[in-house]
Amino acid sequence: MLQMSYKFEFFLRLFFMFFNILTYYFVAKLIGTAGQKYLAPYGGDYFSFVLIGIAFSGYLMVSLRGFSESVRDEQMMGTLEAMLVTPTDASAIITLSTLWNFIFASFRVLLYLIIGVLLGVSLAGANVLGALIILGLTIICFSSIGILSASFIMIFKRGDPINMLFMSTSELFGGVFFPITVLPAWLQTVSHLLPMTYSLNGMRHALLQGYSLRDLAPDVGTLVLFSAILLPASLLAFRYAVRKAKMDGTLVHY
Amino acid sequence: MSFECRIRRFSGGGIIGETAIETRGLTKTFVVPRGIGDLVRRRPALEGITPVDGVDLLVRKGEVFGILGPNGAGKTTLIKILCTLILPTGGEARVNGYDVEKESGMVRESIGLVTTDERSFYWRLTGRQNLEFFASLHNFYSDDARDMVEELLGVVDLKYAADERFLNYSAGMKQRMAIARGLLNDPAVLFMDEPTRSLDPGAAQGLRDFIKEEIVKERGKTIFISTHNLEEAETLCDRVAIFDDGKIKVVGSPEELKENLGNGSKLSDVFLHYSGKRFEDRGKGGGFRPDRRGFARRGGLGRRRGGV
């Protein structure tokens, strides 16, 4: 409801998204077939590659910013205490407060894909079920990182290392703008530590190449592993952060 | 009444005698954070601040219990501990029979909190939307939430402004919204942290009448109210605890406390006697006519035109 009250911002964000897509469309035209060697596993077309990259990396940005910004916004607006005095669990409150961001991110992905198709990206052979499974796991992984980030904000108010770490490394090492095979072998090791790498790799294979669930199993399996570790860890961290803020009496400090 | 006795029915029945709140040796010490410079220079840790220091309290169900103390006495910290928003460092506290630390979820289900912080609402949303949102956090289904909100808007006489943005409300209207929010889950105990602080004297008196008539007599709630207003403590509370430097100095009805001190004593004398300090009386009322609900209509109480 609150987000919908800022209608102008909503339409502005949608409007400027088109410029973003067009920029990559013309960059792809410039590159042409120059990156064939690296792009072959994804169908060979740079625009299709980068479209999936920027569309789905949005979920990471939403997760990283959404959870921590929700905590900070509620702290600054003064509504956090009023929410935490209700029976609803703090983790549920923080998760639900980012729901709008995820809905908007999903709407944005859909628009990216529609515009991409209009500009020539082929999704004819896409494995939609595989893509949805990867999407679900991606949201769980990225949300867990976001909740970890929010835990830092709950205690330190500003200066969250999780956010800075993933924001600065994921676009470079996660394969958003170029395949990680472009990187030197030792830097690819960093890529393999990021959920983003498996998420985008699997998504591209599912949507652009139509890989079967069996072919997607390595990426899906790795994302399941990340989820199994990150989700409980993040919920525990958030619970600890709320307890620490209650102990220090700093729930509403910002 | 046994300390272990639990009052399972959340909705108050207005029967004085059962325990609504009980604390034993309740203590909260905040450690003063050290700067990085102090850590590097290995300066010893500063002593903590103790706004709640070994508080023993027993509040009976259905009574209006006041915590009377000057600003900075620790009243808000005490209320926040009882509302599970701050964890105590020592002692124990039970609200409606539930431990505030170990059974915090059950405590929150059975209480309401009314604060003076206008920022605790979403200013861009309407009054109705605000209440419906907080009702959803109390796990109401949307239909039930709508009905509950409609009823409460009537109770606090804000139906006429329900679909206006909160930012257009006057101070009095915002305070009534805070009360409506506090009553959303039909709590057995309603905590009120200086509810008349931002109101002019007439409006404050109107609100006090409303609390007494509507919330206590009609709805039978237990009220735990903090105030630094002597007049408020005297007219509203069945019993008062004189609270200073984090400690309860004395508890009793305003009449008892004054009588014990001798004829002609005032509550300010009681405060002086037990705390050794003069109490600055800020509550001087008068001049405002209350409306049918008990809310005065002049000054900050009426519907504000032209926004904030």
User: Domain segments of chain A: what residues?
Assistant: 18-26+45-248
CA A47 to CA A38: how far, in whole Å? 13
Q: Could you give the CA distance from residue A140 to residue A234 in angstroms, rounded to a whole number?
A: 11
Q: DSSP letters of B32-93?
A: PPPPHHHHHTTPPPPPPEEEEEEEEEEEETT-EEEEE--TTSSHHHHHHHHTTSS--SEEEE
Please choose, from the candidates B3, B6, B5, the residue with its C-alpha nearest in 3D space to the C-alpha of residue B58.
B3
For B280, which DSSP code?
A: -
pLDDT at B248: 92
Q: pLDDT for A124-173, tens place per residue?
A: 889 999 999 999 999 999 999 989 988 888 888 776 788 888 888 888 89
Residue B15 reports pLDDT greater than 80: no
- The DSSP letter of residue B215 is I
SS3 B146: helix
CB B76 within 8 A of CB B28: no
Residues B176 and B259: beta-carbon distance below 8 Å: no
Cα B108 from Cα A141, distance rounded (Å) = 31
What is the pLDDT averaged over residues A8-35?
82
Can you give the pLDDT at residue B281? 47
The residue that leads in pLDDT, B245 or A44, is B245
What would the CATH number be for the domain defined by B19-31+49-121+187-301?
3.40.50.300
Q: What Rg value do the Cα atoms of chain B yield, rounded? A: 20
pLDDT in tens, A189-206: 999 999 999 999 999 999
Task: Show the tokens assigned to A248.
Answer: 């220090």
Which chain B residues in 111-140 lie under 8 Å from chain A, judged by CB atoms?
111, 113, 115, 117-122, 124-125, 129, 133-134, 137-139
Question: Which pLDDT value is given to residue B156?
Answer: 87
pLDDT at B299 over 50: no
Smallest CA–CA separation between B27 and chain A, in Å? 12
Residue B191's φ and ψ, nearest 5 degrees, are -90, 135
B97 DSSP 8-state letter:
T
Q: What is the pLDDT of residue A220?
A: 97
Nearest CB partner across the interface for A248, out of B30, B108, B117 = B30
Is the model's pLDDT at B8 over the cut of 60? no
Q: What sign does the dihedral B88-B92-B95-B99 (CA atoms) show?
A: positive
Give whichever of A94-108, B76-90, B169-183, B213-227 has the largest mean pLDDT. Answer: B76-90
8 A C-beta contact, residue A5 and residue B124: yes
- Indicate the range of A73-77, B162-166, B171-175 predicted with least confidence: A73-77
User: Could you give phi then psi for residue B16, rounded to 5 degrees?
Assistant: -75, 135
Determine how many CB atoms are found less than 10 A away from the CB of residue B43: 11
Using CA atoms, how far apart are residues B243 and B26, in angstroms rounded to an integer? Answer: 13
B305 — contact with chain A (CB < 8 Å)? no
Mutation target among B32, B79, B87 for the A interface, most CBs of A within 10 A: B87
Write down the pTM of the prediction: 0.78
Average pLDDT, chain B: 80
Query: Which residues, numbered 143 to 172 in chain B, qualify as contacts with chain A under a Cβ-Cβ cut-off of 8 Å?
Result: none
Task: Answer yes or no: is the ipTM higher than 0.90.
Answer: no
Count other C-beta atoms under 10 Å from residue A168's C-beta. Answer: 10
Domain locations in chain B?
A: 19-31+49-121+187-301
d(Cα B228, Cα A249) in Å, to the nearest integer? 22
Quick: pLDDT tens for B235-245: 899 999 999 88
- Collapse the DSSP code of A33 into the 3-class scheme (helix H, G, I; strand E, B; otherwise coil) and give the result: coil
* Minimum CA–CA partner of A73 in chain B: B122
Where is pLDDT greater, at A64 or B249? B249
Low-confidence winner among A5-14, A211-220, A243-252, B242-251 (lowest mean pLDDT): A5-14
